Amino acid sequence: MISNTDWKFGAEQFVRTLPDKVFVHCSEKNMFRLTLDGVDVMGDRLAEEVLEVIQRKPNLQKISFVAHSVGGLVARYAIGRLYRPPKKENVEDSTNGTSIDDLKATIGGLEPMNFITVATPHLGSRGNKQVPFLFGVPAFEKAANLLIHWIFKRTGRHLFLNDDDEGQPPLLKRMIEDYGDCFFMSALRIFKRRVAYSNVCYDHIVGWRTSSIRRTIELPKWEDYINKEYPHIVYEEHCKACDTEQSELISTDDDSFDKLEEELVTGLSRLSWEKVDASFHTCRQRARALNDDGFVLEDVPHLTDFLPHLPSYPNPLHHSHAYAIVKQTFVGPEDAVAQNIVVHKDSPRGVHFRRAGPREKVYFMPEEVRACIVTCGGLCPGINTVIREIVCGLNYMYGVDDVLGILGGYRGFYSKNTINLTPKVVNDIHKRGGTFLCTSRGGHDTNKIVDNIQDRRINQVYIIGGDGTQRGAALIYKEVEKRGLQVAVAGIPKTIDNDIAVIDKSFGFDTAVEEAQRAINAAHVEVESVENGVGIVKLMGRYSGFIAMFATLASRDVDCCLIPESPFYLEGPGGLFEFIEQRIKENGHMVIVIAEGAGQEYVAQAMQAADERDASGNRLLLDVGLWLTQKVKDHFTKVKKMEINMKYIDPTYMIRAIPSNASDNIYCSLLAQSAVHGAMAGYTGFTVGPVNSRHAYIPIARVTEAPNTVKVTDRMWARLLASTNQPSFLNSNEMLPM
């Protein structure tokens, strides 16, 4: 329970922050036993007090109210007394001497701004578990109804709605309309904002339902976010005004009091409210989770960050037959995924990301959603599966049937190339390689793209691509935020090289490793069938050698693996030539796997090539496979005078073009559905992927800040060296460029 001292301290801090702009007055007319005189009497006293302050401070222009508990009802009564209608009903009737301010309604002559209540029993405090310390026991509530006026006098009768002033309705019912000379609702309506703070875990006197102006069925489960600045805030809702003139009251089978309470809810809901739910019982625990234990949540943006009045809706999955048997349909409000799961005792808990999955509330009505999907950059197994599952996920889970496919990458937005996507259209595209929507590199023009998103009334954008594409997605999100558009931007990371940071792996990687086995096996068969056979297989891996490393480990037919992260040299003791000679003498043949980005400095020197880049900004690689093949052949035929049979295989485009395998198909489905859940829940500017096998929403900046590369000091690379028994190439003081 907050005290008068607490309120005064808060007022002092507010004035200290804005000393030249605000004046805070703490009411002194309704203290101690005066609070028992009734809401109406206290309201009249407060109205008189406000007018006295206005007279003492003639420079005041605007007015706001912040009231706690019963004080919120008193303030509502007072503003009904202080309401001043416009002096002129119509601008056309005004004279030249009439100011614009005279044409507006006021509170005591001042412009009304904020009306904020904290734990105020707007629906009264009688029965129906509205007074928590009565435990909802009907006998206790009935007894309290009979005895309350002995304890809380006239105020108690008002709160329990059993007052009967000369046959008039209960005061709280009168206050949901303009009654007599009190303009209760007109006054409340002209405030710029109306905010109702309520305590989820109650404060023993005022229940959650009455302070948040909700019916029992409208009480929300705690929302799935953690407020870093205010950890006690567990739910926020922006409720639009309801047109109750055309709506009927919700009928009940209970006594007449239930019907009266429904009238109060319906009446107050004719105005829009910002509702903020707090749980002070959990704030210490939340603060500890964020600070004391070293817990860091790297959160993703939400549409309400820049659209604070955006309404939320119940998730359609509440009624989904697919989720009917799921024990926990929705992700918990505090669920997070740890980036590091191997920690030392007493070490900080470290970085966490918001867990992916469906939320209790969504911020889009399904019939209002127009989504689009775009694919950018190079090909990769599984793109079509992601496209299919986004379309089907939106349709089957959320009832969205308006999905556009942007053709040809980013430039397709402003080239007006689109196709309507339905579950029927995408039904079997997962069986094909490539991308159903076509792709391109470059073409990113943020303003043009967002202009067309706005023109086409698109409000969900799903972007499939690598790190460059994701950087473009971040720029689109920033522009959307700048323009204040209700557009969710979701990224699905795509790179066959598996070089996206943070996430466990990228889709298509498993398929690429599996398909690479075919090329390695073909090379092994070829060299095993001839004398002194040397096979070289070039695999993808511009900056990261993951495909080469995992394909080597999976094959067991590879004698040496060369990747960009581990420099190698050709000649001299411990060099590649020496190792090849040794293996040929031992086995009669040898297979080398090399990633396309390995040894590029050697090739560039040999060919005197300039540093060129593609439309996406990626460095154009020279063919290290052909270069190495020629170098090995020249060394052994010209220097060693030794006949060898060279076999070179480059399966790059074969691997890129195939459909995804079973493992990647499942993975793509999870990625797509997680992205759909995130966008529907209002998250934006995020990318999705597994972190320690749990799917999470990750800020785009985290996955684009640096590429994921093989760490040659880790155990996985050590396992490869142990498997192939190849030299590490790290013991020579001189790298020999050839």
Return the number of other C-beta atoms located less than 10 Å from residue 269's C-beta: 21
* Burial classification of residue 367, based on how many CB atoms lie within 10 Å of its CB (0-12 exposed, 13-18 middle, 19 or more buried): exposed
Place of tokens 């993808």: 540
Place of tokens 């749990």: 694
Kindly state the DSSP code that residue 93 receives in the 8-state scheme: G
Which pair of structure tokens corresponds to residue 704? 């684009």
Is residue 435 within 8 A of residue 496, CB to CB? The reply is: no
| Among 497, 499, 510, 664, the one annotated catalytic | 497
How far CA 220 is from CA of 73, 177, 224, 298, 652, in Å, comes to: 24, 27, 11, 25, 52
428 backbone dihedrals φ, ψ, rounded to 5° = -120, 20
* Three-state helix/strand/coil letters over 135-201: CCCHHHHHHHHHHHHHHHHHHHHHHCCCCCCCCCCCHHHHCCCCECCECHHHHHHCCCEEEEEEECC
Is residue 290 within 8 A of residue 218, CB to CB? The reply is: no
* Burial classification of residue 586, based on how many CB atoms lie within 10 Å of its CB (0-12 exposed, 13-18 middle, 19 or more buried): exposed
* Burial classification of residue 134, based on how many CB atoms lie within 10 Å of its CB (0-12 exposed, 13-18 middle, 19 or more buried): buried
Helix (H) or strand (E) holding 420: strand 418-421
DSSP helix/strand/coil, 232 = coil
Of 373, 377, 459, 455, the closest CA to residue 420 belongs to 373
Which pair of structure tokens corresponds to residue 400? 């969205």
Return the number of other C-beta atoms located less than 10 Å from residue 18's C-beta: 10
Decide if 623 is catalytic. Answer: no
Which pair of structure tokens corresponds to residue 734? 């001189």
Residues in the chain: 738
Amino acid sitting at position 202: Y
Which pair of structure tokens corresponds to residue 134? 């009565």
> Which residues belong to the active site?
497
